[in-house]
Amino acid sequence: MDDRSARLSLRRDAKVSARRPWIIVLVLVLLGLAVWGAWALAHSAKSGGGGAPGAFGRRGGRPPTTVGVAQASLANMPVTLDALGTVTPVATVTVRPQVGGVVTQILFREGQMVKKGQTLAVIDPRPLQMALLQAQGALTRDAAQLANARLQLKRYQTLLAQDSIARQDVDTQAATVKQLEGTVMTDRAAVGTAKLNLEWSRVAAPFDGRVGLRIADVGNLVAANDANGIVVETQVAPIDVQFTVPQDQAPEVAARAKGGALAVVALDSTRTKTLASGTFTTLDNQVDPTTGTVRGKARFGNADGSLFPNQFVNVRVTLNTLNDVVVTPLSALRTGPNGDFVWIVKPDQTVTMRPVKRGQTTPTQVVILSGLSVGEKVVTEGGDRLTEGGKIMLPGQMRAHGGKGGHRRGGGSEAAAPAGAGGRPSAQVEAPGGFTPSPEMQAARQAVRQACGADLQKLCAGAEGREAMMCLRQNADQVSAACKAALAKLPHRAPGGGQGGGAG
């Protein structure tokens, strides 16, 4: 057994020795391939950095990044304060009966708008009518007694002048007249009270407003000043919105309010639709120590009933307007370890990172206080894929060349891109693959550019391409009727491609 094991071991050693040269050769070949690949990658990166757009298809350079761009421009930017508010009616009243009785009529519909003095319900008036007759009878009786007493007093005074009666009798009769005058006055008050109670048998609305759900039904016996009442009425036009202001901004808001009425708008939960417009009215007289805020109130006409009591809305107060400031789409602003920056597009279609200082912002735009000049182009989409000095390509170039390699040198994006607001070319923002719009799509886009030119200048200054289209749609309630009609006719791109208005 030992000899056999030794022979087997010798055979295995021989096989391994025979394979060893091939393994060494294979390792050397792999090392050579790795070294060659590293050298080729470094060489292609160097040669690709100076190539023209599309050179990666022929020379093996790094492909340019397709991005969307916009141009910085001068515009007027509103300085606003946003807060969460609650719609509060100016008045809320539980309409209670002022006399007791059986409800015989309900003269309103639940949720109906009513006018001040309008009859809402009727309480059985017959017992009140009887009480009025009783008071009127007592008044008639006592008035007759008073008339007789006055006549008797006049006779006594004549006899006294003739010295035919004692003065004591005259004085007693004068006191009787005074007593009956008081009785008649009391009877007149009783008659007035009976008339008032009879009038109160018709329950009326205390002000213009909206009634809620009915509390009492026909046939219910109600008591005077019943806590449940007949119905609850709220005043909805005008109506107030309460919101909170940070304590640090309260002095500025108060100062601006003294200088003139501050415009306030109520927005829906998405902050895209304006529900109503109003004016700022006042701030509370103290800071809430638990939240560090001050309550504010704004008044809205609410003639169309768009605001509902206890509704939550987003409030936007316009404190000031910054005139002729540099603005750019908000998507162009990026934040890095050293603060805010933008990607600047150079004439040779390379990008460079530039630090900027941001100012006032809106949902679509931002004011650049320093670091950016009017007319400079910034990257709005695809910036997360860029590097310092990297090459870029505009979607218009890819569409002009079919979205493949072999692009023209030198750009050509201005010629390929459609005109934006103010007649200047604007780079369209699309999927990197690009597509060729149909004639219907091109006609719809041209109609939007013509109909919405003024709206773009007013609401979306500096935005181009998809940014401009998104801005128009977010402010759809503020654009002109012609622009709304053009936007409605713009086809939408299907999820998988095809036509659409996303590029504007």
Q: Any idea which residue has 């100076």 for tokens?
A: 50
d(CA 482, CA 241): 33
- Given the DSSP bridges, would you call strands 92-95 and 231-234 parallel, antiparallel or unpaired? antiparallel
pLDDT tens-digit series, residues 265-275 = 999 988 888 99
- Going by C-alpha positions, the residue among 437, 322, 390 that lies closest to residue 76 is 322
The answer to whether 361 and 367 are in contact (CB under 8 A) is yes
Please give the mean pLDDT across all residues of the chain: 80
Burial of 353 (0-12, 13-18, 19+ CB in 10 A): middle
Hunting for tokens 């491609």 — which residue is that?
497
CATH number for the segment(s) 95-231: 2.40.50.100
Are the CB atoms for 460 and 475 separated by under 8 Å? yes
pLDDT in tens, 373-426: 898 999 998 888 888 888 888 876 655 554 444 444 334 333 333 333 333 333
Q: What is the pLDDT of residue 63?
A: 77
* pTM, rounded to two decimals: 0.55
Residues 474-501: what's their mean pLDDT? 66
Q: Measuring CA to CA, which residue among 481, 483, 83, 503 is closest to residue 271? A: 83
Q: How far apart are the first and last CA of the chain?
A: 88
Taking only the tens place, the pLDDT of each residue in 447-473 is 887 888 877 777 777 666 667 777 777
* For residue 144, pLDDT beyond 90: yes
- The CATH code belonging to domain 234-320 is 2.40.30.170
The answer on pLDDT for 361 being more than 60 is yes
Q: What are the pLDDT digits (tens) for 53-97?
A: 434 444 445 678 888 889 898 888 888 888 999 999 999 999 999
**Where are the chain's structural domains?**
2-49, 95-231, 234-320, 394-504
